[in-house]
Structure 1
């Protein structure tokens, strides 16, 4: 009898915990989007805005009335997206050429100086640290090129940190602001992300960094959050990866951007898209060992697909990224 009562008590506590999590989720989900311009300021800084989720984020922020400082490494693409934003939404834009993989180098220091000059005097209310790289991926750690791994760390971790140091002091001085760091479900929803170890580790840093900054700066009027989407159909995702998952769980960059912007200022860690939220909740009911085995199997399939692609491409395309 004591064993039955103990198990029933544990089960009841688990069920109550799940109910509280669901209620908290619904409370956040049902909140109305904030008027970002009125609540935080008239300008936003977006890194990696020339393609994929970053481009969609820039367009969505412009749609809700924010002027934009666009930070990316390709001058032509920056001008292209800047011109499109101005034509479609009539907001002001500034561009800063910054190869984030060069952060903490002399070239990176010069780019940081240009960024600080570009935002000086602006009412920057929102910072979106979006830029990230996932390659090399779908390979064992010992198979990866060390320089490529260092690039992942520089872009996903060091650059995010340094760009935040450039923007945050102005928010503190004005007593308002929102920092949105784009994380990944690979480091939050799932217990492991094998064969993408460095990428997942940098995204875990993003989540922990965001949570601690939120605690530090909430009393100063600044909201800091990590948005952790799942699979988004961007250039970062190769066809080999996309085809290995159900289309129901692969969302477009535009849909994800709308969900991210809608949730700015609501919660410290958020899975923005409903399809990804379903994955998050379902993953919570599976044992970690099963999820580990399943994910390793999926990524080994991707590894084999990448190997076939590399072996079949002509030598002239050796530098192409898939």
Structure 2
């Protein structure tokens, strides 16, 4: 009797219970996410294997802002290595002369022009004359590439009501107004020449990979403008052959990141790439892919996929705890 009872419990011909609808839904979402990650990584590999693109087909000259240090310096040297002449836009004449000399010493055939322009004066009466100088400098030049690299990261780790108003207005001028004005100064020539072109705007993963960046609200908000500005211009000028792109790096060895690491007493060395590594990848992506990209290598692609998998509420909690802790330090 007991044997037959146990036999009935373990009969093999009983149909298996159907999976719950929520389990099926989770399985579908998981499969869709894995497929999305795979496609993103495959697209990245395909771009990397596509070979170098001759940016001189757009024009012989490139304009780059903030070329004297960090990512901007590395990108200026990489553009020069690819044979592009450079219009260097920055606020410090001595440092502009230094990078110009370095470019000429390494790439003798490359020409440079320096335009002194404190981009924190953009959209102010004091910025009118430097903007005119920039327009005059590019007039008649075959400018095919623009790199809006200059950016301002301060103030940070502060509530908006506590920040110095002039400090965050300065940030908005550099990160928003200057990007807009420099692009607008160069686009007419690109359109008139009819050879297409490429506009690269440096954004940040802080505004695209994570849903919020509390206590760095102004910085993230200005970088979100850069991303939307790039997306819209990409569509607006696509029929003219002008490719507009916002590049959104994660961790790159810059002065800004070094200061942040010093403040928080925490190193992100395993997650960051050198400026030279980033510049090589970033220049290779110019004119490729869509209006938003993360060209910091496979590591940065994986970081983007990981942040996309984490619920927004969890990311909000983590980032707020980190920035609040940083504020306390």
Normalised by the size of structure 2, how large is the TM-score?
0.87
| 2:232 paired with 1:209 | no
Correspondence list, 1:1-322, <5 A: 1=18, 3=21, 4-37=23-56, 39-90=57-108, 91-175=110-194, 176-241=196-261, 243-267=265-289, 268-274=291-297, 275-305=299-329
CA distance in 1, matches of 2:112, 2:70: 19
- Bigger drift between 283-292 and 236-245 goes to 236-245
Asked if the contact 2:41–2:301 (Cα under 8 Å) also holds between the matched residues in 1, the reply is no
Residue 104 and residue 10 in structure 1: after superposition, are their counterparts in 2 closer, same or farther (change >3 A)? closer
Aligned length: 304
Secondary structure class of the residue paired with 2:141: coil
* Residues 222 and 142 (structure 1), Cα distance of their counterparts in 2 relative to 1, 3 Å cut: same
Q: Is the 8 A contact 2:62 2:86 kept in 1?
A: yes
Change (3 A) 1:251 1:9: closer
C-alpha distance after superposition, 1:161-186 (max 9, x if no partner): 01100001111112211000011010
- Measured at CA, do residues 177 and 221 of structure 1 come closer, stay the same or move farther in structure 2, by a change above 3 Å? same
Instruction: Give distance in 1, aligned partners of 2:135 and 2:269.
Output: 41
Q: Over aligned residue pairs, what C-alpha RMSD do you find?
A: 1.7
| Higher alpha-carbon deviation: 249-258 or 44-53 | 249-258
Structure 1 position 19, deviation (Å): 4.0
CA distance in 1, matches of 2:106, 2:312: 46
Task: Report SS of the residue matched to 2:313.
Answer: helix
CA contact (8 A) 2:90 2:118 kept: yes
Distance 1:300 1:6 in 2: 37
* Contact 1:135-1:148 within 8 A present in 2 as well: yes
| Compared CA separation, residues 149 and 30, structure 1 to 2 (3 A) | same
How far apart are 1:189 and its partner, in Å? 1.2
What is the DSSP-based 3-state SS (H/G/I as helix, E as strand, rest coil) of the residue aligned with 1:46?
A: strand
Q: CA 1:18–1:280 in 2, change beyond 3 Å: closer, same or farther? A: closer
Q: Is the 8 A contact 1:241 1:302 kept in 2?
A: no
SS at match of 1:284: helix
- Counterpart of 1:44 in 2: which secondary structure? strand
Contact 1:33–1:264, Cα closer than 8 Å, also in 2: no
Bigger drift between 145-154 and 23-32 goes to 23-32
CA positional deviation for 1:258? 1.1
The 8 Å contact of residues 200 and 244 in structure 2, kept in 1 or not, is answered as yes
**1:21–1:255 distance in 2 versus 1, CA, 3 Å:** closer
Q: How many angstroms does 1:298 deviate by?
A: 2.0
Render the CA deviation track for 1:79-119: whole Å, top value 9, x for unaligned. 11111111111110000010111111222111110001111
How far residue 67 of structure 1 moved from its aligned partner, in angstroms, is 0.5
Distance 2:95 2:50 in 1: 35
Distance, in Å, in 2 between the alignment partners of 1:185 and 1:118 is: 32
Shift of 1:235: 1.9
- Structure 1: gaps of 5 or more residues: 306-322
Match of 1:317 in 2: none
Unaligned runs of 5+ in 2: 1-17
Counterpart contact for 2:261–2:268, Cα < 8 Å: no
